[in-house]
Structure formats: structure tokens, C-alpha cells
Amino acid sequence: MIQNFTLHTHTAGFDGRHSESEMITRAADMGFDTIGISNHFIVHPDIRRAHFYIPAKSRKYDAIYSASFDEVIPRFIAHYERLERAAENAKINVLRGMEVDFFDTPQWYHGFESALRTLRPDYIICACHFIEFAGGLCNVHDMANAGPDIQKKMLAMYWQKIRTAAASGIFSWMAHIDLPKKVGLGADEYWGDAENKTVSALAKCKIPVEINTGGKRIGVPEPYPSARIMRMIANNNVPVLLSDDAHSCDQIGRDFESAHVLAQKCGIKNFLTLQKILDFSNKTL
Ligand SMILES: [Zn+2]
Ligand SMILES: [Zn+2]
């Protein structure tokens, strides 16, 4: 097995399809030693005013968006309780994770720190699904719909946000760092400089990056990050792990082999063990 653990997964009650116990059983059947569940932890006071909230509500995954920490914490307590019960009967190790959207405000830091004291996750994945632009929250679809000049500004802000999040020292690793690729943005050579600057910053912070194969689910043919960024990761010796970003049982471990081959082709050698990830997470938590 290329990697005997999978830590970036989602379950029902958030935006995944299957329950905690169904995900654990499938991972065990596939031969994994460890599964971690990392549902979305997204808290922003304006989240219900964002464009993307309406389609999320109609497609019934609005539960991932919270306007306050008081809303999200009970949801995670209930989820972690289900996870603990499922883990009791599991044949493999089960870890408590979260995929957290980073917002660089004193209110967010304060709320997040107190949430951590209550929830005590084993690791925290950093995601930047949104940028704050012109007084509102924008996701990658909003970026795709913007005019060329605004789009350029938004993408530059996105890369800056990744660097700020990495430097915060809060996170165990960075998720899908070139997420705007999801909507076809950022592939141009022009963005090589921003990517390079970002990967150097990640190396400086000693924060790992995931190679995320979950894009296939929505038609992205290659993993996050691109081969261009993978070569930068190799040059800077940034540690990596493989993530499936599974939102259902059948997505667990998907494309790990081909992603591993591509990463090696790009020169990546620094693949993390589970122990190293947990050691790193213990330092940040
Ligand atoms: Zn994500
Ligand atoms: Zn995810």
C-alpha cells in the first residue's frame, strides 16, 4: 500500500454521503490502518449573506457553514461523539480531524482557540475556500465569474491568504493549495511566481502540503497541486501526504497510486509517515 492512512474525509451531517461508521468500515476493508474524519469547520459572521450560501441551502449542504462558533461547536461535539462510538467497534485507528477555513481576524482567532480547547482534534487541515473581497465572501466560482482585472486581484489575494494561513502556526497541513484550478484559474505561467513565493513560505514555516486526489469527483483531471507546483515542492523539500478528500465510501484512497507516481516524477521524496504528521500536529495544537 502506497500510504496506509487517509485523513482528509467527510461524512453525512456535513457535506459527505456516508456515516462515520460506514467510512471507517470501508477504510478497514480496503486495508487502511488509520482513517481520520475531517469535516468542514467554516465560521464567518457573513456566511449566510454570501452568494454561495443559497445553492448550498438548496442542495442541502448548508450545515457546513456557521455564522458563529456557538453554532459549529455543538455540531462537532455530536459528530465526535458518533465518531467515538463508531471507533469502539472499528478494526483500525480512528482520528478526529477538521478541515478549517482560515480567516485572519482577531475574532476568528479568539473563537477558534476556544473551540480547540473544547473539541481537541487530533489534527487540523487548513483550507482556503474563500477570500474576503469588496466587503463580501467570495469562493472560486465568484472568482471565475469576475472580470479579468478583478480576477487577477482575487487570485493574488488567494495566494497571499495561503501564505498567511501557513504562517499562523495553527495548522497540521495545507489542503488543495491551488484550489482555483477547480474552475480553470491560475494555470497560466504568470502565476508561477506567486506559487513559488508560496511554496518557499510553506518551506520556511515547515508546514506539509497534501496531494489531493478529490478533484476527480468534480472533473478536475489532475491532483491538487499541479505538476508545476509539485516540482517547487520537491525543490523546497516540503513534506507531503496523500489525501482523497473522500465525500463518500467509494472515494476512499482513490487515485493514491497515480498521484504518488506523479509526485515522484516531479521529484518529491519527502512523503510523511502518520507518526510524523501527528508529531507535527501535537506541536501546533
Ligand atoms: Zn476543501
Ligand atoms: Zn475536504
Taking the C-alpha atoms of residue 189 and residue 197, their distance in angstroms, rounded to an integer, is 14
CA–centroid distance, residue 211 to ligand 2 (Å):
12
CB 119 within 8 A of CB 73: yes
What is the tens place of the pLDDT at every residue in 90-141? 999 999 999 999 999 999 999 999 999 999 999 999 999 999 999 999 999 9
User: Using the 8-state DSSP alphabet, how is residue 189 labeled?
Assistant: G
CA–centroid distance, residue 21 to ligand 1 (Å):
21
Taking the C-alpha atoms of residue 119 and residue 199, their distance in angstroms, rounded to an integer, is 30
Taking the C-alpha atoms of residue 133 and residue 153, their distance in angstroms, rounded to an integer, is 9
**Domain positions in the chain:** 5-284
Positions in the chain whose pLDDT score sits under 70: none
CA–centroid distance, residue 190 to ligand 2 (Å):
27
pLDDT of residue 280: 87
End-to-end Cα distance, the chain:
29
CA–centroid distance, residue 244 to ligand 2 (Å):
8
Ligand nearest to the CA of 244: 2
Taking the C-alpha atoms of residue 65 and residue 42, their distance in angstroms, rounded to an integer, is 5
CA–centroid distance, residue 153 to ligand 2 (Å):
25
What is the tens place of the pLDDT at every residue in 58-86? 999 999 999 999 999 999 999 999 999 99
pLDDT of residue 218: 83
Ligand nearest to the CA of 245: 2
- 56 φ, ψ (degrees, to nearest 5): -65, -40
Taking the C-alpha atoms of residue 38 and residue 125, their distance in angstroms, rounded to an integer, is 8
pLDDT of residue 106: 96
CA–centroid distance, residue 97 to ligand 2 (Å):
11
Sign of the torsion angle spanned by Cα atoms 5, 8, 13, 17: negative
Taking the C-alpha atoms of residue 30 and residue 72, their distance in angstroms, rounded to an integer, is 32
Residue with C-alpha cell 474563500?
Answer: 130
CA–centroid distance, residue 68 to ligand 1 (Å):
20
Cα 270-271-272 angle, rounded to 5 deg: 110
Domain 5-284 - what CATH class? alpha beta
Taking the C-alpha atoms of residue 246 and residue 23, their distance in angstroms, rounded to an integer, is 9
CA–centroid distance, residue 27 to ligand 2 (Å):
17
Ligand nearest to the CA of 14: 2
CA–centroid distance, residue 127 to ligand 1 (Å):
6
Which residues does residue 64 pair with via DSSP β-bridges, in sequence order? none
